Amino acid sequence: MVVMQSDFGASLTMSLHRLAGTAIGAFAGALLVANVGRSVITFGLGVFGIGLLSVALRLERPANRFAAIAFSIVFLVVRAEPVWVIALHRFLEVTVGIVAGLLLSAVWPEPEIAHGRRAHQEHSIKNQ
């Protein structure tokens, strides 16, 4: 489930944060599980490392949050498939959700907000 913003521009910005964060978190989770294994200490260090990586890459808070979520899902979900498959599936699931949400946001904008913003802008112009 992807919750979109009130207009397409905001939805696009949030979608880019979600996509970047998911890619980083899924990759980091798979990398740690494949090379170190699963443990509480590894999980805690991984979440901390995601935060440091987000700062180093100058990612904004939403991307950091999405990275931590993707990391947690990939790290904590134990399945018969290799961890890289779980990471790829998480990334693809989020990507499909983003595309669907953006398409919906583009063809079905929220009319009340667009109308309210236009009325506010017109009012501001008249008062100048």
pLDDT in tens, 36-52: 999 999 999 999 999 99
Q: What is the pLDDT of residue 125?
A: 54
- Helix residue spans in the chain (DSSP H): 8-35, 40-56, 61-76, 83-107, 111-126
The answer for residues whose C-beta is within 8 angstroms of residue 75's C-beta and 6 or more apart is: 29, 32, 33, 38, 42, 43, 46
pLDDT beneath 70: ranges in the chain = 1-7, 109-128
Give the domain ranges of the chain: 8-126
Q: What is the pLDDT of residue 4?
A: 60
Q: What is the pLDDT of residue 126?
A: 52
